[in-house]
Amino acid sequence: MSDLSTWFQVLLLGLPATLIATVGGIALTVVLSFVAGLALLSPSRTVRVVSRIYVEGLRGTSEVVQLFWIFFALPVLVGFQIVPIWAGVLVLGLNHGAYGAEIVRGAVQSVPRAQYEGALALSLSPAQRMRRVILPQAVVEMLPPAGNLFIQLLKSTALLSFVFVQDVTRQAHDVLIPAFNPYVFPILLLTLAFYLVLSLLITAGMRALERVAGRRLGRVAVGVG
């Protein structure tokens, strides 16, 4: 039993890094998703192309490669080393932002054309149309896929253990497994449980957001699950 509490505490030491990476990554993802997603719908061809290159480039390559590139290759080019955890946040945000951009684009396009025309008929400016009419409706559509994306991001934080971030996974792999080798089964199960709990928290948070957003649009809560 004392073993279990030791393992738990060792894993807990990795939790701050995992949390910073998750929260920072999600924040950057949200920003990039909106910027790139709206850019994909821009009337300017140049803006669309630039955004499309970002989206396809990041979605087309592997996250691990992106991480190693930013951690090992980029310093050679720019001349300084990024703190591992921030390199991690950067990659998580860049990568998932590319997926998020498609979510934003899809949700905006799913808003019925009549809404757009209604706003146009009221002589709202393009920015007003987007901010006051289209986005509030689109956000409701974005939330469910965004929840899945954030869970993907949480799971990807484990990759940061490759670049020396002391997260939960690295604590398990580098500290616990060598020290308590006969007990890898319960140790790794406990590690998985850490992530499961974090996933459930994200899911619960997103459900709450969905309810709030749905109520704002006067939609009745659809059955849970």
Partner 1 sequence: MTWDWNYVADVLPALLDGLRITVIATLLGSLVALVLGLVFAVLMRGPAPVRVVVRALVEFVRSTPLLVQVFFLFFVLPQFGVTLGALVVGVIALGLHYAAYNSEVYRAGIEAVPRGQWEAATALSLPRSRVWTGVVLPQAIPRVLPALGNNVISMFKETPLLIGIGVLDIVGQAREAGNTTFRYVEVYTIAGLLFLVLSYPAALLVRRLERRVVGT
Binding site for partner 1 (CB under 8 A): 56-57, 59-66, 68-69, 72-73, 76-77, 151, 154-159, 161-162, 169, 172-173, 177, 182, 184-185, 188-189, 191-192, 195-196, 199-200
Q: Are 29 and 179 in contact (CB under 8 A)?
A: no
Closer of 82 and 135 to partner 1 (Cβ): 82
| 87 Cβ contact partners less than 8 Å away, ≥ 6 residues apart | 67, 70, 71, 163
Question: Cα(156)–Cα(54) distance, rounded to whole angstroms?
Answer: 19
Closer of 164 and 213 to partner 1 (Cβ): 164
Closer of 33 and 95 to partner 1 (Cβ): 95
Q: Are 67 and 160 in contact (CB under 8 A)?
A: yes
Residue with tokens 């946040």: 89
CB of 124 to partner 1, least distance (A): 32
Q: CA 125, 131, 137, 143: dihedral to nearest 10 degrees?
A: 150
CB of 121 to partner 1, least distance (A): 31
CB of 86 to partner 1, least distance (A): 18
CB of 99 to partner 1, least distance (A): 10
First vs last Cα of the chain: how many Å apart?
A: 36
Closer of 142 and 159 to partner 1 (Cβ): 159
